[in-house]
Structure 1
Amino acid sequence: MAPRHGYVLALLVLIGALVLVLSAWRIARERELRAAEEVFVSRTAEVVDRMRSRIVNYELVARGGTALFASVARPTPRQWADYVESLDLGTRFPSLTGLGYAGLVTNNRLDELQIEWRSLGYGQLQIHPRGMRDLYGPTLFLEPRTADNMAAIGGDMLTQPSLQQPMLAARDSGEARLTAPLRAAVGGPSALVLFVPVYEPGRRPDQRAARVASMRGWIYLPFDVQRFVQTSLAGQYSDLSFRLVDATGGGEIDLFTHAAPSVVPAFRHRRTMDVYGRQWRLEFDSAPLALAAPRVRALENMLALGLVASLLLYGMVLALARTEGRAQVIAQRLTEDYRRSEQRFRSSMQYSAIGTALLDNDGRIVEANAALGRIVGRPAHSLIGQPLQALFEDFDRPLAPDDEEVSSTDGPGVRRMTRHLHREGDLPRQAQLTFAPVPGNVGQDLAGLVQVEDVTDRVRAQARVQALNRTLEARVELRTRELSQANQELESFAYSVSHDLRAPLRAIEGFSRVLQERYSDRLDEAGHDYLGRVRKAAGRMGELIDAILVISRLGRAEIRHEPVDLSRIAVEVLDELRMGDRDRVVEVRIAPGLEANGDATLLRNLLGNLLGNAWKFTRDREHAVIEFASVSHPTGEREYYVRDNGAGFAQAYSDKLFRPFQRLHSPSDFAGHGIGLASVKRIIERHGGSIRAEGREGEGAVFYFTLP
């Protein structure tokens, strides 16, 4: 077991490393978050500045209109239209829906205004809504002249509470004032209207009463809030989500909302801006943390690396602690193993049946066991200090002669030799010596170990075996010669049988044919039948002679081993069978890639017999199926098979299938000589394989064979 302080040190290292990593990561993360938040806040300030700058430009446009009224007592509609056209509102200020002028008219001057309007050729000025009021604020000018703007001419804006309050506030204060969001007024449902007061030319009254007395009307700008925000931002800041709210008087009215594609914002910030008597609040949401502070993700990766490094450091210290403990255990074990190894060596040397001795650098015996004393015929203790060479008759010869044997399986420095052992009062005996180096301690005089084994009886037995082998070789040569002579005689006999039997068969066939041709009119029906049987028997006898010769050739033919494509051969054999019987329809299933190593001619003969039998015995099947494939067994052996659904056979007679001239079906049902399967078995056995058959009557057969 490792020392306990090693584990404690590893744990302290892990805790310290984790604390340092987490602390550094937290400080760096907070710094990055603060920096990212500052960037976010500065961008919100840019948004506010852009919107403030845009609406100030609106005020400047309106102030330009007041300058027109200061230079001309009462501008004509044409002059107002030229002024608005010069501003190019559609291009410079696309959010503005118009630029207009609403006059301030008291009840006693309304008729004068209408008379003056007609006298100047402006047409009839219709004030709406109708009714008697102290003050009127009708729209007199509104450009550009769209359908909505033309409909607004003559409309009394002071009748609408949402417009009246900022109009009067602008009159009383002398400053521009903005309306709350309009639901149904000039400019559309999402519009705001900016009013700038117009006083008598050359006057800028300081007191409220003076301003009320010198008031002439208002220059006003209706604009769309959404387009106002969009043009202010000019397509930038699309990653920010913000909401524009009119928070005047403690209420909340949504003016504009822009939602960026974010799920959880990293930061939130609020800003307020005073806009011409209204208070706007902008609520900003930043992008998610991964986008708002991308370097935080890198810090997370650094944190992961730091944690991994801490764990690795912990693992290293723990491994060192365990290694220290294991080293102590191994040292103790090695000490005990060394002691036991020394004991085992001493015991194996003392009690071994083979003579063993330890030698010094000069070849003298340092220690010998009792078995060596028995082999040399002397007490073991008397051998100590004696040269090992003195124990052999040929001790004057070097111990490393030319006939020395060295085995490649032995360790380095191992030598073997055979010497004649010197025994007083006894015949010389042969001993086998095996020398091996012995690594000793520094300063020790041990140099090697020798094992001495009396092999006299073994050498004599080997001599007897060699003499017996020579006799056996002579016998084998004699038997081989006799077998060769027997094969030659068998071959001569086969050809003699073929020649001697074919001559009388040809005579029988020839005379029977002459008899049938010349004397057919003298023979009755029975005679013709007998004569036909004689000719058929002669033909059958000739076929049997040919079959005998085929079997004889299969046993004598030399086998040439080469790679053979069995699938291709099977396809060719079945194509030949189809050419000979074009009217038959047979379903053929041949597995691709079946290969073997053997004689191509013999293997073609083998497949020709097996597939030919399958073709023949499926003759009466309406849907005939022939299959050639293979199956692999768990032992690694590959077994080929030919299967058909033909006539089949009784499994009890399967051992007769491979005997020559053995038939399980009548020749009248299925023609043949009974030699095909015998040839198949002979070919497979010559290749070192085996064959077996399985079948059932009326259900088909399958032949399994191996080709090692």
Structure 2
Amino acid sequence: MATPDHDMPSGEPLPARHGYMLAVLVLVASLTLVAVYATGAGHRELALAEARLAAEADQVTARLRQQLLTYELITRGGVSLLAAVDRPSARQWRNYADGLDLPTRFPAMLGLCYAAALSPAQLQEFQLEQRDATRTLFRIDPAGARPQYGPIVLLEPKTFGTADLVGFDMLTVPAQAAAMEAARASATARITAPLARMQEGIGPGLVIYAPVYRNGIVPSNPMARTAALAGWVCAPFRLDLFVARALPGADRNLSLRIVDIGEGEGEDGGGESAMFPIDPSAFPGADVDGVRHSRVEHVYGRRWRLDFHQGPARAGDAGLLGPEGTIYVGVLASLLLFALAMILARTQSRAQRIAARMSDSYRRSELRFRSAIRFSAIGKALLDREGRIIDANLALADILRASPEELMGRFFSSLFTGGVGKAAAEGRARAASGSVYRVTRELHRDDGDIRQVHLTYAQVPGDHGHDLASLVQVEDITDRLRAEAQVLALNRTLEARVALRTRELTRANEELESFAYTISHDLRAPLRAIDGFSRMVSERHGDAFDEVGRGYLARVRAAAARMGELIDALLKMSRVSRSELRREPLDLSAMAEDIMAELQQGDPDRSVVLDIEPGLRVSGDSTLVRNMLGNLLGNAWKFTRDTDPARIAFRRVEHAGEHWLEVADNGIGFDQAYAGKLFRPFQRLHAADEFAGEGVGLASVKRIVERHGGVITGEGVPDGGARFRFTLPDEPG
């Protein structure tokens, strides 16, 4: 029969309930007074904040439009230049761009370009003119036949990242093509939809286009504008810098999001596209405090939605506390009153709940213990002091192929092989261990199957007159032992399989080497024929050709010689990977001095300041290491050709907590953004007509360093020199 305490409800006693009700009434009354004040003050503050935000939005929008108007005037100036000159030269276009001083006055603009509108026939004629004028072929990117082309033919200022944009067909990008077509049809400036990435390393941006018509005359008939179109003056610019110049200082607590919502003047444009910022988390969400303001602006054929957000005003702007501070103080006072009433009401009920939990603890502990044994996936049994089974779970019954009822009362040791003597010895070992005892035994099931099991004994307190009882855990490990035996058997055959694969790889490398030399021999024969016959034609029948024809023959011979050099470079790079590695102590300082002496002898007129640290010693293959060091020092010698004074250093440096060897110079350097191309075969960061080479030197250097177990890195700054750091082992082996 239940006790009187258990007959009571699970909640608090009656006086405590009255205390809780009184505390709630006090809280509701005080919060009601605070809410009445907050409602009026909140409406006034919201209206004032919205008015301030609308004024800020007007100023930001005006600055954005002023910048766009400036960009349009710049493109219109380019249109005027093109109207005055049929086709301005690169120098004239550069002079116009330099006069604008774009990097200083308009940092958001990436340059000023002119894209010509060309039909396939006009493109062929333009390419012939460029070839006759510059001796180079004007290439279209991307290549392919199209009914209309819009390649960039003039671009200023040219940087390392934008130099390869000349020849890019802007009509192949749908967003740019739409803006160019709109500018042609309307005879006014038009702007593109947001472009995801302007160039490598720069985020999203826009391009503004102004159409250029032949003779500077704009046809009144829209259909005639297509025939009269000569091209477009374009000005790409970055969105981040463009917007940053229009926003006020950081202390204004103002956030801006620009969304492109289509084109045209109607309200049903295309789909929305976030322009600034691209990361949605950079603009406060709808759940963030503050005021918001949105407006739609028609900008050069596009519709932009400008979303403004301004955070809550600082406390100093609204007096000592301000409306929000007064609300916080009122809410805090209400909570304090409520907390005092709750403390008084909870004192008695807490003591009663703690007593109820303690009285129920023993029953729950017993239930958890029984449930853990019964539903465990590992076999478990409780044993009395004589070793009989007094309880067993279903997992143990499944291992023994018997029901739990059949196991009750059986001696646990009778389930295993070994007899009474082994069971007695095991009992003594368990008593000596004192706590936990583990052993592996053979289990003989009633169906005749023999299994290997792992037993874990532990002592647990008992009841019903028993001082101690044993808990034993039974884990069937038969399948695991069989799997381990199979793994051992497979490992015994691994060495023979590895030797077989090694022999196959060796044969494949030998066949690859033979194939490389065969291919190189077969390629050289037609190359010698091309070079020989072109030389005979040039010597014997040169008078039959004009200057252009003789130039073509010279290009044929130069291309044949270039291909021969590439074949030699390929063979040289393959030998680096296949040659046998013989390690020996090396003096890199002496080796570097010999290499620099050879370079100085080959070019005695140059004056180079050398700084070679003495005593640099490593272990490696002398032939390969000299090849590697010759390539690095040769590159430093070559790329400091136009530097005065030229400086080349070879030394040991501390980098990232380790000792590295470094070859440094103050030559032309390179852009670090393209450092990943340095060690790839035939990848060049400088034009072939400026600096000779096949583009395999640094690829060979990387292979030699990695064959010795080292690593190599390259760092550079345009016109600021380059540094190559590498590691080689100090000791043989």
TM-score (norm 2): 0.37
Higher Cα Rg, which structure: 1
TM-score (norm 1): 0.38
